[in-house]
Structure 1
């Protein structure tokens, strides 16, 4: 038998004109239960009960914000924002939801051997209580705050069956346990909290600052999960937090320039946007005058222009020649004498005055306004995962006072912590210190920086500069030990520039000799000496592997252990200096350069060739483009287990052969790479007046991978030429004198042909022996052709032919191959 009952969204829709917290419409109830009873010859009874209930409260206040500066009487647009600024003292939304669910299953199985024998009752039960809180608040229009929390708890129950009829004593004990657990809000199993704050600067509402755009957001999460229990003893809970700051800003300098009338005029003149020319209508003056025999006459026309055209006609409309000369901007003198009455028509002459200095000034001004916009984005985030955390959570912000002050603390809940929090928690006794439990605390930090600058120094020439940097750090702290040993790991990448050594080829006839690699080898002792100089005056540590070393506490001595020239500490700066074209005596020594060492990448396009005299007679458009992309990457790194620091990243590691201390950073970096691409080095696209399209580009790239563990540099080079031709024959049926498909469909034939020639080569350069070996190389010739014909609205036909020839540049690496493919494609569209 099945018994069910359900009430959904029970509420009284009674609400005040101005919503009040106690309005009945703010409350919503839900309740349901489902009971099932089964029995059969092998089952005496089987009960399945499922109860669910929820209570929700939602209030959305409506209030008028406070305007503390509303008394300002000024009508200035720049003060309008301050005048209208308002403060909302109540949250915009409050929502609370509590949900309870209870599942109970009980089964009594019959004994098939002895019916008088009572088998044990099988029981499965689960009593859960979830609580959610949502708050939204907009204190001011540009600031949005939101808070969400979710607590999952379990209501404690006694073991065994819950059957008032069969087990009354056990039932009473179960009831008391449940009531006691409900009064304590249950036993928490998980807590999740999220806080988001977003602020957008109101520059768009302040005319003098509307060229600026800026926003900042903060997101913090906090999670608590109950840990396992072994024989009734808790081994600690797990807490995590994560916080991120996002800063976005844009500087629209073109909008700033246009705030000044002269700069706006210059921008409009050199704008790429075509505007219809506004023709100024010449002003005209007409009137009849009679010439005089003895003197000249003066005609006042008030045209405010000294350059005018004077036409005289007789009363019957015949032209009459007169001599005139301007007196000022508003009058002319007629020197012709006589007694005739003439009709004078005086028209101003409109002609834009240009002079050399004005032209030079406008072009120089436009060039000075070459920076058009600047976009900045910075993101920093950090997280802390802390296992073996002893305290439970409370009912407010996931905090408890059971072990002194609030644990884990509001600073942890809202993300304002760093790795020093581990020491704080350990000192306050919040951590379960058990050296048999070695789960480390994990602290992670990520920084992302992006800067884009748009330049247009002359009309049609657009340059985009891109600067990026991403730095990831992860520390694993073994806090259960006294010295809290830490393992470091992470990755790093930034935009770089190695153009000083670009576009250089290596040939087999000279042993693949490379000036950059030779410079790299000569930089190694220079960098090693610079690092060794930084250790002068430092003392050897006394702890760790140096505890029983006779040199412990003594000044650094290169005779004990010099700087290892094969280490990544030496090879990476030497590598960067050589392939970047920088002096080894000035290159930075850190493998993780700061923001000031970011070098830009760029993309350049120019579409102004059509303005060259005569080219627009044959071309619809011409575009030249060039792009340079280069990154420096530390793929991943770790730290040395026995490294001992003495001053920041300066420290000592134990030499595996001599067991003596050698200068070393804490980072074990196996490889770094410089990836460079000209994509393309030079490229162009143009379309003729007859719609014939051409495109061509030359690409070049290389990847330099320094493997310090293997003592080698892998250099992979690639270059390629691509040429393409395309043409679209509109209404191909009319050319063949075929009947078209009608229905407004143009039966077009699109043709495209591409030719490509690419060459790839890979070299391994041994650092210790200065020997270079080619490992692979291929030259690839490709010819591709395609045609697409539209037969009707639903049917199209495509044909293609691809031919590729691969020729190995190293005979031992591969064999020449040729691949060809061709085919037809029929496309049928059944959609409406």
Structure 2
């Protein structure tokens, strides 16, 4: 069962208990008291939560709701015997991890023109900082007074202030009442809608054999690669230790926080006509936000694309003109036309600077018509054209 003659590491550990076994190991003599022992004590916690629900509020309308939360914590310490205190102590404990959770940022999705260098949402983010600072200062008994409108220990560069102001702004919440937890606990549902009931109406049924509408929304808030700070200290139940800028140290230090939002699609249409022609159309919208905590710089990638597809298959094709007008082709002939217009732009917003700058991006148009004709099982003739036109927004895109 994975237990040695001394009973280590215990039945609880073998059967999946998450209880810390170090005290039990000390009491049972499983850990050496040799000061030269350098092997780290490591504890890894991984939580993956996913909730999916499909509902049908109306006939032919299906709504799929999905909520996700993922957390990884890696704790390591040099747990060894200390002769001065005559006890086992933790030396250089460190916690690293990753965190992501589904959220809703729909309220600010269309507030600004896509890729604009002037952003009302970013300005809201900047304006949220003193509000969040004063709220944090009021909760921390180790903070006293205000400095230039910011609570002592929570100035405009403080990680807690910047992250919470960012979350409030881009989720469309009021900074006076928004959550003060930079690691949200409850995942919010994203959704996907499909409606296929339009063919019930005679006008549409006479022309279409299939017609469905699609819409999907996903948004995720994530923190990649955070770690604990050795100098972090609490007094009276709140942060006490400070950094070189006189800001309170956070429990975990973040390098970057991000929000990924996708309308996939914003609207999509799939059809099949009575003459066996298929038509597909969709509009997609993506917004990726990456906030650097080292300089409060925000990189925003905005992408909008429109995709159109047409397909037609026939085994009775005739040339409408010319010397082949009387030629009848009985084998399958497939016509396809794909058109895509993509517009992506990355804009860099810097704290307390009025206008942002475009760092990269381009508008791209692709046109791909093709014809496939099956001569027999061994031979296939294909005629196609591929056009790709790109207009960059900066010289760096070339």
Structure 1 partner of 2:128: 523
Instruction: Classify 1:523/1:505 alpha carbon distance in 2 versus 1 (closer, same or farther; 3 Å).
Output: closer
Give the aligned partner of residue 467 of structure 1.
Answer: 67
- Aligned runs of 1:252-651 on 2, under 5 Å? 397-401=2-6, 406-418=7-19, 420-480=20-80, 482-484=88-90, 485-506=92-113, 512-536=117-141, 557=144, 562-595=153-186, 598-646=187-235, 650-651=238-239
Equivalent of residue 656 in structure 1, options 228, 244, 259: 244
Task: Give me the TM-score of the superposition, normalised by structure 2.
Answer: 0.88
Post-superposition offset of 1:461: 1.3
Cα-to-partner distance string for 1:430-481 (whole Å, 9 max, x where unaligned): 2134444433211111222111121211111111111111111111122126
C-alpha contact (below 8 Å) 2:137/2:153 kept by paired residues: yes
Residue correspondences, number:
381
Question: What whole-Å deviation, never above 9, does each CA across 1:552-576 have from its counterpart, x for those lacking one?
Answer: xxxx546896224313211111111
Distance 1:787 1:704 in 2: 41
- Of structures 1 and 2, the one scoring higher in RCO (CA 8 A, sep 6+) is 2
Q: Which residue of 2 aligns with 1:109?
A: none
CA distance in 1, matches of 2:309, 2:196: 19
Q: Partners of 1:528 and 1:409 in 2: how far apart? A: 47
Structure 2: segments with no counterpart, 5+ residues: 83-87, 320-325
Query: What does residue 778 of structure 1 align with?
Result: 362
State the shift of 1:637 in Å: 0.5
Larger radius of gyration: 1
Cα separation, 2, equivalents of 1:581 and 1:522: 13
Give 1:728 shift: 0.5
State the Cα distance separating 1:796 from its structure 2 match: 2.8
Secondary structure of 1:615's match? helix
Q: In 2, are the aligned partners of 1:788 and 1:796 still within 8 Å (CA)?
A: yes
1:25-64 paired onto structure 2 within 5 Å = none
Contact 1:468 / 1:495 at 8 angstroms: preserved in 2? yes
CA separation of 1:781/1:453 partners in 2, compared to 1, >3 Å: closer, same or farther? same
Counterpart of 1:757? 341
Q: Is the 8 A contact 1:645 1:666 kept in 2?
A: no
State the alpha-carbon separation in 2 of the partners of residues 709 and 426 from structure 1: 42
Deviations 1:189-226 (A, max 9, x none): xxxx5xxxxxxxxxxxxxxxxxxxxxxxxxxxxxxxxx
Displacement of 1:732? 5.0
Q: State the 1:670 CA deviation.
A: 1.0
1:725 correspondence with 2:325: no
- Aligned partners of 1:433, 1:656: CA distance in 2, in Å? 38
Please give the per-residue CA displacement for 1:119-176, whole angstroms capped at 9, x wherever unaligned: xxxxxxxxxxxxxxxxxxxxxxxxxxxxxxxxxxxxxxxxxxxxxxxxxxxxxxxxxx
Question: Distance between the aligned counterparts of 1:640 and 1:574, measured in 2?
Answer: 22
Matched residues in 1 for 2:131 and 2:26: separation? 45
Contact 1:722 1:757 in 2 (8 A): yes
Of the structure 1 ranges 720-729 and 608-617, higher mean CA displacement relative to structure 2 is found in 608-617
Unpaired segments of 5 or more residues in structure 1?
1-192, 194-396, 539-555, 741-746, 816-832
Contact 1:568 1:670 (8 Å CA) reproduced: no
